[in-house]
Amino acid sequence: MIERFLKNIQQSELITPGQHIILAVSGGMDSVAMAHLFYHSGYPFAIAHCNFKLRGSDSDADALFVEQLAVKMNVPFFSKSFDTRSYGESRNISIQMAARELRYQWFGELRKLKGYDYVATAHHKDDQAETVLINIARGTGMRGLKGIPVKENGLIRPLLGFHRNEIEAFVDEQKIAYREDLSNKEEKYTRNKIRHQVIPVFKEINSAFTDHVEELSRIASGTQKLFSMLVQQTFDPYIVREKDSVKIPLDVLSGYPSPDVLLFELLREFGFQPSVIADIAEALEGQPGKIFYSSSHSCLKDRNYLVVAPRKKPESNEYAVSNSQDEVVLPGARFIFKSHPAIPLSQIPSNPDSAFVDSDKIRFPLRIRHPRDGDFFTPLGMSGKKKLSDFFIDEKVLRTDKASKWIVLSGEKIVWVVGMRIDERFRVTSTTKNVLEIKFLR
């Protein structure tokens, strides 16, 4: 096992002589086995442990176990505790995603602060197969088929050449103690469900399934590198790069098949989600003026170019809408704007996903964002102000759903709590001369 471990490191060029590694050790079988392999291999290393405070006293016992392991091996030990639940709630993400973000952010900071060359994680072949299947289930392209890279951005995975049962056999043979995380058996988590229910079926069909997934990942990685190089060579001479924007010529795009695949490669660095890129590709033959957003950039479909530019306030997650735009595509939402002459009140449809407001009372650019503390408005039919948080309570909106709601603003005034209520100050009356219809599509 140790000989194969050293051979994998050399063949994959993971570590060169003189480099120092931080091992990410949870206390579980895989990461503890990795620590013992490093210990016997002679590579200089330290051990780092994340305490996510999710399993009460068991989490603290894990941290103590890993610290004692570092003491026995006489290597430096680093640890950090996190309020993982609060972090996840504040960002409206799952516990698993919160732990992942916190873990890798700290590992990167620790590596640079302490002057280490890489952080090693204990992912193996079975993890690789699980990751590829998760990516496929959630929707992915070539990059998702790559799975877990053996080396990237200061991270190395020296166990990717081993199966889980090989690591288990090594641990049993060497009588290595480790901590058992019972949550790994809970099938409410996607990865565990794939591990315990899906992969066994594939292995019944072909016992070498995980080896084949590893080969697929290797091929996908090489194909992606080749594709990226060809796209760069083809499009770089035509792309106009200005101080604050990048312009992609539409006529060049239209000369190739599968523009959505090309756009995925051209726009990936700007943070656009695959679903938004699909919408951009669909709009290539349409009217100019549509604008699409990622968390950091906007993409305007102009007459001759796709114009990609940084959003002015990317940290605010706020999106501006000019009076010349008839459609805006945001992460997870689409807004369509249409102007009308005066509409009889009886003809205004009752649809929670459409708002009809007095456009003469609107001041552009409109702003679209999620709720913030201190927001208030005058709900339709009322005369006084009401805190948006109180309105949500009255309407029995779940606390977990509040952060994902959208609101449309004119200046500092809320025009529409999307899908729920417009503001009384912008309602259509019998004297309204011009109407703006705002339609929300999920």
CATH homologous superfamily of 2-223: HUPs (3.40.50.620)
Q: 95 or 103: which carries more pLDDT confidence?
A: 103
pLDDT beyond 70 at 345: yes
- At residue 314, the pLDDT reads 40
Q: Are 247 and 305 in contact (CB under 8 A)?
A: yes
Q: Which residues contact 278 (CB under 8 A, 6 or more apart)?
A: 260
Counting Cβ atoms within 10 Å, is residue 257 exposed (0-12), middle (13-18) or buried (19+)? Answer: exposed
Domain ranges of the chain: 2-223, 240-316, 319-441
Q: Are 120 and 47 in contact (CB under 8 A)?
A: no
- How confident is the model over 307-312, as a mean pLDDT? 84
pLDDT beyond 80 at 439: yes
Provide the 10 A C-beta neighbour count for residue 408.
Answer: 26
How many whole angstroms separate alpha carbon 342 and alpha carbon 207?
69
The CATH code for residues 240-316 is 3.30.465
pTM over 0.75: no
Least confident of 45-49, 176-180, 181-185, 372-376: 181-185
Least confident of 66-80, 162-176, 260-274: 260-274
How many whole angstroms separate alpha carbon 385 and alpha carbon 43?
66
439 sits in which H/E element: strand 434-441
- At residue 386, the pLDDT reads 93
Counting Cβ atoms within 10 Å, is residue 278 exposed (0-12), middle (13-18) or buried (19+)? Answer: middle
How many whole angstroms separate alpha carbon 349 and alpha carbon 240?
45
Q: Which residues contact 259 (CB under 8 A, 6 or more apart)?
A: 253, 281, 284
pLDDT beyond 50 at 237: yes
256 sits in which H/E element: none
Query: Across all residues in the chain, what is the average pLDDT?
Result: 90
- At residue 413, the pLDDT reads 94
Q: For the chain, what is the total number of helices (H) and then of strands (E)? A: 16, 22
Strands 21-24 and 118-120: parallel
Least confident of 200-204, 271-275, 346-350, 410-414: 271-275
Q: Are 157 and 22 in contact (CB under 8 A)?
A: no
How many whole angstroms separate alpha carbon 95 and alpha carbon 106?
16
362 sits in which H/E element: none
Q: 278 or 3: which carries more pLDDT confidence?
A: 3
- How confident is the model over 14-34, as a mean pLDDT? 95
Where does the pLDDT of residue 315 fall: very low under 50, low under 70, confident under 90, or very high at 90 and above?
very low
Does the domain at 319-441 match CATH 3.40.630.30? Answer given as no
Q: 153 or 332: which carries more pLDDT confidence?
A: 153
Reference 30, options 140, 99, 125; nearest CA is 125
User: Which token pair is 279?
Assistant: 């919408």
pLDDT beyond 70 at 363: yes
Reference 67, options 35, 102, 114; nearest CA is 35
User: Which token pair is 105?
Assistant: 């952010």
Where does the pLDDT of residue 183 fall: very low under 50, low under 70, confident under 90, or very high at 90 and above?
low
Contacts 24+ apart (CB under 8 A), 195-202: 195/126, 195/130, 198/133, 199/126, 199/129, 199/130, 199/133, 202/129
Q: 372 or 316: which carries more pLDDT confidence?
A: 372
**Residues in the chain, overall count:** 442
Q: Are 303 and 288 in contact (CB under 8 A)?
A: yes
How many whole angstroms separate alpha carbon 162 and alpha carbon 333?
42
- Max mean pLDDT range (115-129, 230-244, 392-406): 115-129
Contacts 24+ apart (CB under 8 A), 300-305: 304/249, 304/250, 304/251, 305/240, 305/247, 305/248, 305/249, 305/250
